[in-house]
Structure 1
Amino acid sequence: MLIYDELTAAERALWDAFPDGGRVDLRTGVPEEDDPATGAEWGAGRTVRAEVVAALLLGGGPARAGGVAALRLAGARITGALDLAGAEISHLLELTGCHLEDAVSLQAASTRSVRITGSRLPGVDAGLAHVEGHLSLKRSVVEPGFLSLINARISGELLLNGARISTSEPWAVFAGGLAMGGGVFCRDGFVTRGGVRLPGAQLGGGLFLRGAQLDNPDGEALIADNATTPVIDLSGGFHARGTVRLRGARVSDLLTFDGATLDGTGTALFGVGMQVGTFDLGLAAKPAGTVDLQGAAVTALHDRAGSWPEEVRLDGFVYGSLHSEATPERENVTRRLAWLRRNPGYAPQPYEQLAACYRQAGHDDDARRVLLAKQRHRRTTLNAPGRVWGRLLDATVGYGYRPWLAALWMGALCLLGGLVFSAGSPVQTKDGEGAPFNALVYTVDLLFPVGDFGQRGAWHWTDATQWFAYLLVAVGWLLTTAVVAGVSRTLNRN
C-alpha cells in the first residue's frame, strides 16, 4: 500500500492533481533534454513509479466532490511495469512525452480513453481490452516491442498517426478480431518494422494508412483478411515492403492505392475473393510482384497503365465498370487486351468479363474485339488440327465476330472466277439444254452449295479450268461451313 509521505515530489504532484484531472508537466522546455529517447537518464525529479500510476487509476487516490478525476502526466520517466490487466478503469489515462521502461499491459481491461502520445515505450498489450473512448499512440515510439489489440473493442478511434513501432519479430501490430466504432488512423509518418495484422477486424470508421511505411520484406506487410470496413486508404506515398493481403475483405466504399508503392517481391497484392465498392489501383510505380485478384468483385475499377505488374491473376475477377487515364478508345481496348494476357495461361472468364463490361457500356464493337482476342488466345491451347480450323475461322469470318470477311472472300472469288471462266470455252453437258453460259453466274453457282442457278450442271470444261472449278466448289463448302460455325457461335453466345 502506498503512503503519501513516502511519495517523491513528482509523485505527490501527480497524486494531488489527479482528483481534478490536472496535468503534471515535468518537462524542462529544452527539446534535447525532453526527448523521451533520453528518458533513461532523467533523474529522480522526473521519475514516477508505475505502481503510483496504477494505484490512482484503480481508485486508490483521493476523491474530490465536483471534480472529474483523470491522470495527465507529461515528461516523466515511468519505472516498473504498468500492469493494468483485467482492471476496471473509470478514468482517463494521458501520458505525453514520457519514457516508460516496461511495456504497458491493458490485457482484458475495461477503460476510458488512453492517450500515450509522443512517448517511448517497449510495447502495449491491449488484447481483449474494452476501451470506451479513444486509444492513441500518436507520435510515440514502441521499440523494441509490438502493439497487441487482439479481439479488443474500441468505441472511438485508434490513433497511430506519426507512431513508429519496431520489432525483431515478424509482426509489429497484432489486431486480429479488432472491433472499432471509429476509424483506425495510421498516417503522418506512421512506420513499422514488422507487419500489421488485422484479420477479421471490423473497422466501422475505416482504415487510413495514407503515407505509412510498412516494412516486412520476408512476409506480409499488411494482412486484413476478411476485414469489414467502409474504406481502406493506402494512398499518398504508402509504401509496403512485403505483401499486402486482403483476402476476402469487405470494403463497402473505397479501396485506394493512389500514389502507393508495393514492393512485395513474390506477391505484391493478394486480393483473392475481396469485395470492394470503388477499387483505385493508381500506383506510383509498377509492382515488383504479382497482383492476385482471383474471385474478387468490385463495382468500379480505376487504374493506370503502369499499375500492373508482369503477372496479374484475373480468373474470376468481376467488375462493373472500368476507368483509366484518358486514351483513345481503340488504344484503351488494346491496352486492356494486353492486361488480360498478363494472366498466366488461358482462362476464358477474364475475356468474357471485359466483353460484358464493354457491352454494358454500349461499346459493342469493343466487346467483339475482346471476344475475338479470346478465341485467338484459346487457339494457342489446341492441337494442330484445331489450330488449323481456328485459323480458317479467323481468316474467313473472324470466329463469327467479323462476318463481313466472308462477303469479301466471296466477292474476290466471284471476280477471280468470272475472269478465269470468261477467258475459256466451256462445253455444254447436254446439247440444246440449259441457260446460256454466264461466267459470273457460273462462279456463284460453284461457290454457293445451297441453291442452283442452272449453270453448274449445264456446263463443264475439258482442260485444266475444270480443276479450278473443283477448287471453287471446295472453297465454297469451306467458306459456308466456316460462316455457319462462326455465326452459330455468336448467336449461341448472345
Structure 2
Amino acid sequence: MLSYDELAPPERELWDAFPEGRHVDLRAGVPEDDRAAEGGRWGQERTVRAAVIVALLLGANTAQRGAVACLRLAGARISGHLNLAGAQITYALWLEDCWFEESVNLLGASTQTLVITGSHVPGIEAYAARIEGTLDLRRSVVQSLASSPFNHVSTALSLSDARVAGGMLLNGAEISAPGGWAVAAGGLVMEGGVTCNGGFVARGEVRLPGAQLPGGLFMQGAQLLSPGPRGTALALDNAAGSTLDFSAGFTANGTVRVRGTRVSNNLTFEGAVLNGPSGGRGASLAAPLMQAVDFDFTLAEPPSGWVDLRGAQVSNLYDSDHIWPEVVELDGFVYGSIKMDMGRERREAVGRRDSVVRRVAWIRRSPGYNPQPYEQLASWYRRAGHDDDARRVLLAKQRHRRQTLPRAARMWGHLLDTTVGYGYRPWLAGVWLLALTLLGTLSFDSHSPTPVKQGEGAPFQPLVYTLDLLIPIGGLGQRTAWYWPHDGLQWLAYLLIAFGWLLTTAVIAGVTRALQKN
C-alpha cells in the first residue's frame, strides 16, 4: 500500500490534483525536450510510477464533494507496468505526451473515457475490456507486445471482444507490429465511430473480423504499410457497419478483406491505392458475399492484385475507366446500377457507344466462363431501357460459352452465330434468305429446266422455284415439277434445299435458346 511520504514530488502533485480533476503538466516547455519518443531520457523530476496511477484509479485518494475526480497527466515518464487487468474503474484517465516504460494492461477491465494521446506505449492489452466513453489514442505510437496471451502473435493494440460505448480516435497514431497484428479487434463492439485519419499508420495486420461498427470506420488517407503474416493488410470479415470509408489516399500494401461484411450505407475506395501483397500474387480486395448500398471503386490507380467480388450484393456500383485489374472475380456479383466517374459528374454507364464493349471486357477479366455476370449485366441494361445492349451482352455470353464446348458443339455454335446470332440477331436469317433467293433466282433464270412430265404443271418461275427449295415446310409446286439436266444447277438446287433446312433449324434453335435463362 502506498503512503504519501513515499511519493516523489511529481507523484505528490498528481496525488493532490486527482480528487479535483486538475491537470498536472510535467512538460519542460521546449519541443525538443518534450517529444514522447525521447521519454526514456527524462529524469526523476518527470517520472511517475505506474503503481501510483493504479492506486489513484482504484480509489486510493477519494474524490472531494463538488468536484469530479479525474487523472490528468502530461509529459510524464511512467515507470513500471500499468496493470489494470480486471479493474472496475470509475474515473476517466487522460495521459498526454507520456512515455511508458512497459505496456498497458486493461484485460477485462471496466473503465470510463480513456485518453492516451501523443504518447509512446509498448503495447496495449484491452481484451474484453468495457470502456464507457471514448478511447482516444491520437498521435500516439503503440508498439507490439512480445506476444498476446490470447492471440499468440505479436500484437500492438489488442481490443478483441472489447466494447466501447463511445468512439475510437486513432488520428495520426502509429500502431506497429511488423510481421504481426498491429490491431487485433475481432468481435469488437464500437458504438461510436472509429476514426483513423490524419496520417494514421499501421505496420502489421489490422484485424476487425466480426466487429460491430454502427458508427462507421473512417480511414481517409490512412496507410497500412506492412501486411500480416498472411499478406493481409486489413481483415474485416463478417463485420457490420454503417460506413466503411477508405478514401482520400488510403493505401494498403496487402489484401483488404471484407468477406461477408454488411455495410448499411457506403463502402468507398475513392482515390485509394490498393497495392495488394508484394509481387501481385494475391488479392488486393477480397470482398466475396459483401453487402453494401453504395460501393465506390474509383481508385487512384488500378490495384496490383486481383479483385474478388463473388456473391457480393450492392445497390449502386461506382467505377471509372481503367481502374480494374487484369483479374476480377464477378461470379454471383449483383448490383442495381452502375455509375461511372466522368470528371465532376457520375452518370449511368449506359448510352455510350462503347458501353457494352467495355462491360463485356470487364466480365472477361473473370477466370473461366460463368453465365451469371452476363445475365446480371443484361438485366441492368434492360432495366435502363437498353434492350439492344442487353441482347449484345447475351450474344457475348454465348460466344464465351462456345469456347468451353467440344469441337462439334463449337461448330454448331458458329453456325448459330453466323445465321441468327444465337437468336439475338434474327434479322441475319432474313439477310441469308435474301442472299440465297437472289443467288438461286439469277442462276435458274439463265437456263431452261426440264419438266418432270411434259405438258403438265405450272410454268417455270425462277423466284418461286428458289423459294420452294429454301422453304422446307409445305411446297409451292415448282420443286416437284422441274429438274435440271445440267449437274451444276442440280447441285445448286440440292445445296439450297440443305441451306433451307439448316437455316430453319438454326432459327428455331436460336430463338429457343434466346428465350431460355441459361
Between 1:260-269 and 1:326-335, the stretch displaced more is 326-335
Letter in 2 for 1:329: R
1:482 maps to 506
Q: Which residue of 2 aligns with 1:472?
A: 496
Partner of 2:334: 318
Counterparts of 1:65 and 1:356 in 2: how far apart (Å)?
70
The answer to whether the Cα contact below 8 Å between 2:266 and 2:293 also exists between their aligned partners in 1 is yes
Tell me how far 1:236 sits from its aligned partner.
0.7
Pick aligned residue for 1:150 from 141, 153, 160: 160
- Structure 1 position 144, deviation (Å): 4.0
SS in structure 2 at match of 1:355: helix
Give the counterpart of 1:247 among 229, 253, 259: 259
Could you tell me which of 300, 317, 322 is aligned with 1:306?
A: 322
Alpha-carbon shift at residue 452 of structure 1 (Å): 1.5
TM-score by length of 1: 0.98
Matches within 5 A, 1:20-419: 20-145=20-145, 146-217=156-227, 219-264=231-276, 265=280, 266-326=282-342, 329-419=352-442
Aligned length: 494
CA contact 2:298–2:341 (8 Å) conserved in 1? no
**Contact 2:179/2:226 (8 A) holds in 1:** no
The one-letter amino acid of 1:319's match is Y
- Counterparts in 2 of 1:234 and 1:157: CA distance versus 1, 3 Å: same
One-letter identity of the residue aligned with 2:30: V
> Structure 1 residue 283: deviation in Å?
1.0
Partner of 1:429: 452
Asked if the contact 2:144–2:182 (Cα under 8 Å) also holds between the matched residues in 1, the reply is no
Mapped to 2, the partners of 1:446 and 1:363 lie a distance apart of 38
For 2:328 and 2:213, locate their aligned partners in 1 and report how far apart those are by CA, in whole Å: 28
Q: Identify the residue that residue 446 of structure 1 maps to in structure 2.
A: 469
Cα separation, 2, equivalents of 1:154 and 1:232:
18
Task: Provide the C-alpha distance between the structure 1 equivalents of 2:515 and 2:87, rounded to a whole number of angstroms.
Answer: 71
Give the partner amino acid of 2:115.
R
Tell me which amino acid in the other structure corresponds to 1:482.
A
1:14 paired with 2:14, answer yes
Structure 1 vs Structure 2 CA RMSD: 1.2
Kindly tell me: are residues 180 and 144 of structure 1, through their superposed partners in 2, closer, same or farther at Cα, counting changes over 3 Å? Answer: closer
Q: Is the 8 A contact 1:283 1:306 kept in 2?
A: no
Once residues 395 and 27 of structure 2 are traced to their aligned partners in structure 1, the CA distance between those partners, rounded to angstroms, is 73
Corresponding letter in the other structure for 1:402: R
Q: CA deviation at 1:62?
A: 3.6
Note if contact 1:91-1:111 (Cα within 8 Å) is conserved in structure 2.
yes
1:442-481 residue CA offsets vs partner (Å, 9 max, x unmatched): 1111111112222111111110211111110101110000
Identity over aligned residues, as a percent? 61
**Mean CA deviation greater in 328-337 or 116-125:** 328-337
Specify the SS of the correspondent of 1:378: helix
Q: Is the 8 A contact 1:240 1:261 kept in 2?
A: yes
- What amino acid is the match of 1:337? V
Structure-1 separation of matches of 2:300 and 2:376: 26
8 Å Cα contact 2:169-2:194 kept in structure 1? yes
SS of match in other structure, 1:306: coil
Does the Cα contact within 8 Å between 1:170 and 1:216 map onto a contact in 2? no
In structure 1, stretches of 5+ residues that fail to align are none
CA distance in 2, matches of 1:359, 1:162: 47
* Structure 1 runs (4+) greater than 6 angstroms displaced: none
> Who is 2:148 aligned against?
none
Which amino acid is 1:258 matched to? E
Map of 2:346 onto structure 1 = none
Aligned partners of 2:177, 2:192: CA distance in 1, in Å?
Answer: 27
Q: Which secondary structure does the structure 1 equivalent of 2:338 belong to? A: strand
Shift of 1:143: 2.1
Work out the CA distance in 2 between the residues paired with 1:401 and 1:418. Answer: 29
Distance in 2 separating the partners of 1:63 and 1:109 = 21
Deviations, residues 206-255 of structure 1 (Å, cap 9, x unaligned): 11111111123451100011001111111111111111111111111111
Q: Is the 8 A contact 1:195 1:215 kept in 2?
A: no
**Secondary structure class of the residue paired with 1:60:** coil
